[in-house]
Structure 1
């Protein structure tokens, strides 16, 4: 399995995808161990089908991903001649399709209330407002905010340039005056003394790089402090601020290709998801309800 993961890594799979593959195949390995299978050549039809039959306790998405990982692993074993027979035919194809959900967004006014709720007089507040601005004004993902380094900020051209963690694509965004001033304020009066290359650090010792779950908690805290309604019923992390930026740009009639470039999408298809939150434009597409010729329907009322 380790050699399989190295092979998948050489194919360009992201660390997150590899981590998921390891989780799914670890369950398969545990199943084989529980059935006293210690050699690859001892794997047979009964083991494959037995493992698949036990996946019913998991969600549809987990089953789909597990079957895909298992199929790729079995094909790898056969291609490398670790197995005499190609057992991939035993792994059924899943018809699962990820549900399309309407992105969570906050209005422009709510974003301003969020920013106003941050106490910028404290070192932690200086850091927090700079990170929130990166999400709300530029739409950066949490992974890219936490991974932002000094070398990514080009003060001479007022731009931010880096390779996105998710897409592995380079992105260049403007260093807005509001954002630049917030970063400078944090670096001069809030950031702990450290030789680490990352811009944002923990507010307390040890002064390590900030992690993504911590950023999620920070955004959630200030959304609640701002008194925004229904926060608990909505997504309330930095990704919601990214969605909100897309919604604001749509309200301003910004073309989809431009929004795709701002958000760092590799194609406009990913950006089309945000069309579902542009209510003003959707209302313009609404059709009048036709008159129904029926004995049970007269004058717009059911009889």
Structure 2
């Protein structure tokens, strides 16, 4: 606090009221998360005003709650122009007070509904028995929740009255505005939950086989990839002189050279990099761990980011946000955004703007250089060889060798 306010009178005002004893630790926590000096100074003024407002109403620190935050901000709005971050700053203060044990933010215990209990049990099954990836668990959870709300809208949870007609009606409603691939994911999620319901004994018959599949054929598309020069241009757009550019450079190299998925980049931990063995541990799901060799170019980019650009914080994730709060990426969406911005800066109209286009590009390049499909499947860590066979469609030299000649002569 002393570095933010030089005048002793200002420091005394910041520490007035019931929150005065914890304002120092709160400002220190903001500094640890990477907030700038100006941001911390504004937060201190705001918390100081809030503390004096509480003191004027005889509210103790242990009684601070979100409704008091809203009341304070409504009154403050009449006296001065509010800042967009005022409410989020005070909510962050409540979280800090809860961590310090000063207040209790737990809502009164409520008995979960039958639907919520089924949803929680389904998530536990997917996580521990199926070992599914977090993104898959989240998607299937939402699908199951929507299905249960549709089937039991009246509140009565009776699986023995559910018919295939009811399930199909929900699928038609849920996929009404979906594209074919999205409809496939919805149908797959519904089928997965119905098989779980059969496994738990809630259903007597397997209704998953009664749901018609959308008109999407396996292997009906070709992998969308970039040209080699486009990959180089994309990588070159990362300004390694800036912290965010150094981070983006390492992220794109992991995608382009090792073929990692966006979620696998997010899940990387500091201890997953074995510098002595030159290996990288890649996590997918709760128990699946693969070891990949760490190429020199990728290792150098990671070392540069970790030593020069990565902010200091308690998070063990390798890649962190560039702005406060300094914490790890929450999902693969952040990785996809890094790739999308790099493609835009390079002026590349890519067939796909997400991170997966670099994975397809790696497989296509390996195929062009003479690697076999089983070898590509090992690099991409496919569980089933059939998943890799889609790249046979871009193996043009092999396709030309088996293509029949054009009737009447070459065209």
How far the C-alpha of 1:122 sits from its partner, in A, is 0.5
- For 1:248 and 1:37, locate their aligned partners in 2 and report how far apart those are by CA, in whole Å: 55
Structure 1 residues 269 and 112, CA gap change in structure 2 (3 angstroms): same
1:275 to 392, 402, 405: 392
2:97 alignment partner in structure 1 = none
Mapping 1:20-39, distance limit 5 Å: 20-34=139-153, 36-39=154-157
* Count of matched residue positions in the alignment of Structure 1 and Structure 2: 282
Contact between 1:141 and 1:239, CA under 8 Å: does it hold in 2? yes
How far the C-alpha of 1:48 sits from its partner, in A, is 5.2
- Give the stretch that moved more between structures: 279-288 or 90-99: 90-99
Structure 1 residues 21 and 115, CA gap change in structure 2 (3 angstroms): closer
Structure 2 SS opposite 1:195: coil
1:296 alignment partner in structure 2 = none
- Give the stretch that moved more between structures: 256-265 or 139-148: 256-265
Contact between 1:67 and 1:92, CA under 8 Å: does it hold in 2? no
Structure 1 SS opposite 2:210: coil
2:225 to 105, 122, 133: 105
Structure 2 SS opposite 1:237: coil
- For 1:270 and 1:226, locate their aligned partners in 2 and report how far apart those are by CA, in whole Å: 31
How far the C-alpha of 1:67 sits from its partner, in A, is 4.6
1:138 to 258, 266, 278: 258
TM-score (norm 1): 0.82
Matched, 1:252 2:375: no
- Give the stretch that moved more between structures: 156-165 or 207-216: 156-165
Deviation string, structure 1 residues 75-95 (Cα, Å, up to 9, x no partner): 245x3xx57xx2546971434
2:341 alignment partner in structure 1 = 221
How far the C-alpha of 1:65 sits from its partner, in A, is 2.4
- For 2:125 and 2:344, locate their aligned partners in 1 and report how far apart those are by CA, in whole Å: 45
Q: Which has the higher contact order (CA 8 A, sep 6+)?
A: 1
Structure 1 residues 191 and 272, CA gap change in structure 2 (3 angstroms): same
Structure 1 residues 214 and 250, CA gap change in structure 2 (3 angstroms): same
1:294 alignment partner in structure 2 = none
How far the C-alpha of 1:13 sits from its partner, in A, is 4.3
2:237 alignment partner in structure 1 = 117
Structure 2 SS opposite 1:94: coil
How far the C-alpha of 1:16 sits from its partner, in A, is 3.5
2:165 alignment partner in structure 1 = 49
Q: CA-atom RMSD, angstroms?
A: 2.8
Matched, 1:199 2:318: yes
- Give the stretch that moved more between structures: 13-22 or 281-290: 13-22
Structure 2 SS opposite 1:271: helix
1:179 to 298, 313, 319: 298
Structure 2 SS opposite 1:172: strand
1:295 alignment partner in structure 2 = none
Q: For structure 2, which runs of at least 5 residues remain unmatched after alignment?
A: 1-117
TM-score (norm 2): 0.62
How far the C-alpha of 1:282 sits from its partner, in A, is 2.3
1:127 alignment partner in structure 2 = 247
Structure 1 residues 281 and 236, CA gap change in structure 2 (3 angstroms): farther
- For 2:365 and 2:318, locate their aligned partners in 1 and report how far apart those are by CA, in whole Å: 27
How far the C-alpha of 1:19 sits from its partner, in A, is 2.9
Q: For structure 1, which runs of at least 5 residues remain unmatched after alignment?
A: 292-298
- For 1:147 and 1:70, locate their aligned partners in 2 and report how far apart those are by CA, in whole Å: 26
